[in-house]
Each structure stands twice: as C-alpha cells, then as structure tokens.
C-alpha cells in the first residue's frame, strides 16, 4: 500500500541517486488491487504488520506480479532462526502484537518457507547493517 504522500520522497531519492527512469512509484491499496507488474518488488517493514493469512495473500500478489526470474525483497528486522540473538526482531514482534490485530515478526527461515509455499523457486537471507535483513525470493 503506497500512500500518495510518499511519492515526493520516493522521487527525490531517485533523483538524488541517479535512478530517474529506472524506478516507478505506484500508489494504491495492496488489499484491494493487484500489485503492478515489475521485475523487482520490495516490501520494507510491511509483512510484519499483518496476520498469517494476510502475509500469504501479499506474497501471492507479489508472486503474481513478477515475471519468471523476477525478485521479491522482504526487508525487516528478522528474528534470527535460533530465536536467541536479534533482540530487535523480538522487540519488533512484541510491538506488532501490541499495535496490530494480528501482526508479528518472524525468522528468515519462516519467510523462506512461506515463499516456497507461494511458488518462489529459490530464496535466501541477506543480513544488512544493524538488526535488519532481507529475504530475497526469486520467481
């Protein structure tokens, strides 16, 4: 769900990094409409807001919008697979449980499993700076 108020920030970022013409902003409600077709779809701190049914629905919509070989990137404060190290991931999950009707954070292995169930042929977890990581699923 990209809100119209985000577009000026998105456009400025694209200009600042010389990416005009390579990125496209789409506003809309991802619960009501299909996602626009794209080679890469990024969901940054999105999936953790929703319950399991909604997480699966969003993954399916992303899968359907991607071409063969396209990528879905999920960017979150993932809980480590052993559930022992990334305190920020656990705190974010607690935060989601308090602030949303069904949201929760998850491990990279959880997300990779959901991607496989959705039809992604491969996936991997890439640690980022700080407590965040990304899960990349390839259609």
| Other CB atoms within 10 Å distance of the CB of residue 77 | 21
In 3D space, the residue among 134, 132, 135, 78 whose CA is nearest the CA of residue 107 turns out to be 78
Q: Which of the following is catalytic: 17, 26, 48, 75?
A: 48
CA distances from 51 to 23, 46, 84, 96, 126 (A): 29, 11, 23, 10, 24
CB 76 within 8 A of CB 133: yes
* DSSP 8-state assignment for residue 28: B
- Provide the greatest CA pair distance for the chain: 43
48 is catalytic: yes
Choose among 56, 53, 47: nearest CA to 79: 47
Q: Give the active site residues.
A: 48
């Amino acid at each position: 769900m990209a809100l119209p108020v985000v577009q000026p920030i998105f456009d400025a970022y694209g200009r600042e990094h010389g990416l005009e013409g390579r990125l496209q902003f789409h506003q809309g409600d991802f619960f009501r409409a299909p996602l626009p077709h794209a080679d890469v779809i990024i969901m940054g701190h999105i999936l953790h807001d929703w319950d399991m049914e909604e997480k699966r629905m969003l993954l399916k919509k992303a899968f359907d919008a991607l071409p063969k070989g396209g990528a879905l990137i999920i960017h979150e404060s993932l809980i480590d697979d052993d559930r022992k190290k990334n305190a920020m991931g656990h705190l974010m999950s607690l935060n989601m449980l308090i602030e949303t009707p069904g949201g929760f954070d998850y491990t990279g292995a959880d997300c990779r499993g959901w991607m496989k169930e959705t039809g992604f042929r491969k996936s991997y977890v890439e640690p980022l700076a700080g407590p965040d990581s990304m899960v990349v699923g390839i259609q």
